[in-house]
Every structure is written in C-alpha cells, then in structure tokens.
Amino acid sequence: MRDLAGLWSEPRHVVAICGGAVSGAEAAAACARRGIVTIVFEQNTRPYGKIEDGLPRWHDKLRSQEYARIDECLSHPNVLFVPRTVIGRDLPIAELGPDTGIAALLLANGAWRDRPLPVPGVDAYVGRGLAYQNPLVHWFNHYEDRGRDGQPSYDGPRYELLDGAIVVGGGLASVDVIKILHVELYRAALRARGIDVPVVEIEHQGIPKTLAAHGLSAEELGIAGATLYYRRRVRDMPVAFPKDDSPEQLAKTEGVREKLVQVLAQKFLVRVAECRIPLAPIVEGERLLGLRFRKSELQNGKLVEIPGSDHDVRAPLVISSIGSVPEPLDGIGRKGELYDFADMKTGQVRGLSHVFGLGNVLTGQGNIKDSRENAREISGHLIADYLGVGVGPRDGAGVLDSAHVQAAGRGEQAAGGAQQRPKAAPAQLRELCERVRARWSAVGYEGDYRAWLLANPPS
C-alpha cells in the first residue's frame, strides 16, 4: 500500500472532495497543484460519474477524452483518491470538518436524483409502466458489460424498451433518452433478422442509413416508434441557449432548436409532440398504460393551459426525463431542490462556512464545460480567498492555465487581505492519512490510482 509518511513532514492545507468526476477532479487538480493535500471520496469504483453512467455510450470519443482528463487530475501525488466510499453513509459530513484538520469540504457529487414527474400518484408505477431517466441510462450503458472472466457483470435494474413508449421531457438528456429507445428498438429488430449492428454505428449513421446498408427500410420493420412530449413549443426546448438577450440571438437559437428536432425525426425517426402538459396517469390493473395530457399555448410570453383540450395518450412505457437534482446529504440543508447555498458565486453552503458546492451540484443542471468552468471558479476562490494560498513556488505540475493564473493572481491579493486558514499540523495530517489508509484497506485500494483503473477498467 502507498506510503503516505511524506505528507505529514510539515503543516499543510487539506481539502476533502465528495465526488471525483468532471468537477471533483478539476477542483482536486487545482488544489493539488497548489501543494494542498486533497482527499477525493468517490462512491463508485471508478470516478467518472455522468461521463460513464449518464452520457449514452455512443459518445465514445468524448468519453475517452474525459476519462483521460479525469485520470490526469486524480493521479497527482497530492491527491488521495478513496473509491467505494459514500459520503453521508460510510463517512458522515461531520467527520470532515475543520476540527479534523480538513480546512474545506467540496461537494462535487452531481445531480443523480430524477426530478419527480408532476403527475399525482404516478410514482406508484415505477417499474410497472413508468421509468426514470437516470437508472435507465445507467442500465443502457452497462447492461452488456462483461467482467474480466468474460461473463456478464451487470446486476442492476433491467428495462424492457417497448415499442410505442413515450418520453416526457424536452432538455438534451430527454433527447438522448428517446434516441436510446429507437436505437435499441431497431437494433433488436435487426438482430431478429440475424443482423448485429453495434450501438455506436447505429447512432453515428442514423437509423435509415443503417437499415439501407442491410437492404431494409423502416416500413418493413413495422416499428410504431416513440414520441417525446414537451410542455412548451419546440422552439423553446432547452437544447440550445442564446449567447445574449438580443432578439437576433433568440431567433437564431429558436432556429437551432427546430433544426435539432428535424434531425431527430430524419435520422432517428423520432416524433416530438409540443405544448403538452402531463396531467394524470392512465392505469389498468397494476400497470401504468399512458398519461392524460392537456394542450398548452404561449400567450404574451406566458404558458397557459387550454381548457377542454385534455386527451389520453396510451403507451406501454412512460419515461420521465425532466431533469436531475442533487441527492439529499445528511448534514447539508436544502432549499427547494438544491442544497441551501449562502452564496452562489463561492458555492458556500449556508451555516457551514467550510463547505462549498460545485459543478452540477451548484448549477443544478448543465454540461461538461459548465461543470468544469464552475469547478475552476469555485476552487480558484477557495484556494486564493478562503485558504489564502498565495502565489508561491509550484510543484512542477505543468503550465498554469488561465483559470489557475487568475486564481493565483487573486492569491497574491489574498496574501495581504484574506484570512489565511490554518494548515493541518503534522500530527493531524498523520491521523488523516491513517484514516485514509484504513479506508483503502476496507475497500481494497492500494493507493495507486493508475493500477486501480487497470484492474477495474471501464467498459
């Protein structure tokens, strides 16, 4: 097991991070490069979060690129990666406070709880006609995994993707969900004809081209297909965002949204029903068999429901994909769906001056770029203004990028102004390192990040 004695030879700042994916890894690298001992607790075996379990697996190039970036961040010698450890369950938040020598705790645990579908009583049918996005995409990404022995290794919940399913949503994730449905339906239909086409190939080529390559057409396969139901207009879908508030930008973005839906229809044979608000479950026996919708329209910029427009949509499967929020964490207050932040700019949690949120936790939703930029901003503030770490000799971890230069610049000012948080004394550091090593033993980790990933590679 890795010897940590070198870490307690002199006082050092210590930061703990909950979650090792895009935002956690980025913050960890920023801290580690400033000489801060950074302990990253990750609930899973691997740290990739939504990159491995959220992005559908056809994003093969993006995934490899992001895996490599996270790996580089987490292999820094000042980072102590602690896998298979759930903060709030295996380790309470209260044990990660300043009295233990940990100056700050960063919450980079993402948004893994599906926002509940606002249809009274519908949640009683989860697994019986209703599915939620997060576990469904996790299943899609892993259900064909094989272990090192070549045997199937997936043991989570399973889904049967039925023809005629509907998806309720409207954001980018819901677009991926309906694509998953069609890729899987057509793949199964091809397989039934003895033709095996990989997921990535179907997504990259699109369904009509894939079928044509095998001398088939969509009509011949007789698949009815899935529909995405969105409460507003197609041109309002949050799948693209204007760069500013100008009418030109808005018009341009609306055009991009409409184009995206056209591409969905042409390349993936998906239908989108706009201006439909889900109202009530349709139930037969023990199963959900669709939803009642009411039509809506925009009047003077406001969404209004149209009286008398209720209609039933029968479907063998309803998938809810209306957004994800952070899981509750014992000891962290909530405000609505998010944690209760005292300051959105620094990510500081109300009532816990040493705890900060970042990435999806703070932004509520977002993408890889936003998560990474947010992590840089929050860690830049933390290092310079909260810990008061100024510009000093660096540890040779490479050239400063612009965010780190900014953070370092603020550090120079901070050296004069901000409060310098106390460093952990060698005895505290030693105790923390011993706790880390005890946890490593418990989860079977030897302290070598690269070796761990070689032994536990992603699929």
Ligand X SMILES: Cc1cc2nc3c(=O)[nH]c(=O)nc-3n(C[C@H](O)[C@H](O)[C@H](O)COP(=O)(O)OP(=O)(O)OC[C@H]3O[C@@H](n4cnc5c(N)ncnc54)[C@H](O)[C@@H]3O)c2cc1C
**In angstroms, how far is the first alpha carbon of the chain from the final one?**
26
Q: Least distance in Å: CB of 166 to ligand X?
A: 17
Q: Least distance in Å: CB of 85 to ligand X?
A: 6
CA dihedral 131, 133, 134, 139 (to 10 degrees): 70
Spell out, one character per residue from 172 to 211, where the chain touches ligand X: x when CB under 6 A holds, - when not.
xx--x-----------------------------------
Position among 44, 153, 406, 456 found at the interface with ligand X (CB under 6 A): 44
Q: Least distance in Å: CB of 287 to ligand X?
A: 26
Nearer to ligand X, 60 or 343 (CB): 60
CA dihedral 172, 456, 71, 25 (to 10 degrees): 60
Nearer to ligand X, 86 or 425 (CB): 86
Position among 11, 35, 88, 388 found at the interface with ligand X (CB under 6 A): 88
Nearer to ligand X, 35 or 88 (CB): 88
Span from 54-62, 141-149, 205-213, 300-308 in contact with ligand X (CB under 6 A): 54-62
Q: Are strands 311-314 and 302-305 parallel, antiparallel or unpaired?
A: unpaired
Alpha carbon distance 157, 229 (integer Å) = 25
Q: Least distance in Å: CB of 412 to ligand X?
A: 29
Alpha carbon distance 336, 328 (integer Å) = 11
Nearer to ligand X, 87 or 103 (CB): 87
Per CB under 6 A, which of residues 125..144 are in contact with ligand X? 137
* Backbone dihedral angles phi then psi of residue 5, each to the nearest 5 degrees: -55, -35
Does 320 interact with ligand X (rule: CB under 6 A)?
no
Alpha carbon distance 216, 363 (integer Å) = 45
Nearer to ligand X, 347 or 390 (CB): 347
Does 371 interact with ligand X (rule: CB under 6 A)?
yes
Nearest position to ligand X, beta carbon: 110
Position among 4, 7, 20, 432 found at the interface with ligand X (CB under 6 A): 20
Size of residue set near ligand X by CB under 6 A:
35
Nearer to ligand X, 98 or 366 (CB): 366
Q: Least distance in Å: CB of 107 to ligand X?
A: 9
Span from 21-29, 210-218, 376-384, 442-450 in contact with ligand X (CB under 6 A): 21-29
Position among 367, 413, 441, 459 found at the interface with ligand X (CB under 6 A): 367
Structural contact between residues 131 and 318, judged by C-beta atoms closer than 8 angstroms:
yes
Q: Are strands 311-314 and 287-299 parallel, antiparallel or unpaired?
A: antiparallel
Does 110 interact with ligand X (rule: CB under 6 A)?
yes
Nearer to ligand X, 211 or 329 (CB): 329
Nearer to ligand X, 335 or 369 (CB): 369
Does 360 interact with ligand X (rule: CB under 6 A)?
yes
Task: Count the alpha carbons within 13 Å of 383 in the hemisphere toward its beta carbon.
Answer: 31
Q: Least distance in Å: CB of 375 to ligand X?
A: 7
Nearer to ligand X, 94 or 124 (CB): 94
Does 42 interact with ligand X (rule: CB under 6 A)?
yes
Structural contact between residues 203 and 162, judged by C-beta atoms closer than 8 angstroms:
no
Other residues' Cβ atoms within 10 Å of the Cβ of residue 112: 19
* Backbone dihedral angles phi then psi of residue 166, each to the nearest 5 degrees: -125, 150
Nearer to ligand X, 130 or 211 (CB): 130
Position among 98, 366, 388, 458 found at the interface with ligand X (CB under 6 A): 366
Does 231 interact with ligand X (rule: CB under 6 A)?
no
Does 86 interact with ligand X (rule: CB under 6 A)?
yes
Position among 7, 39, 49, 281 found at the interface with ligand X (CB under 6 A): 49
Nearer to ligand X, 296 or 360 (CB): 360
The dihedral built from the CA positions of residue 60, 65, 66 and 72, taken in this order, carries a sign that is: positive
Residues that bind ligand X (CB under 6 A): 18-24, 41-44, 47, 49-51, 54-55, 59, 86-88, 108-110, 137, 172-173, 176, 359-360, 366-369, 371
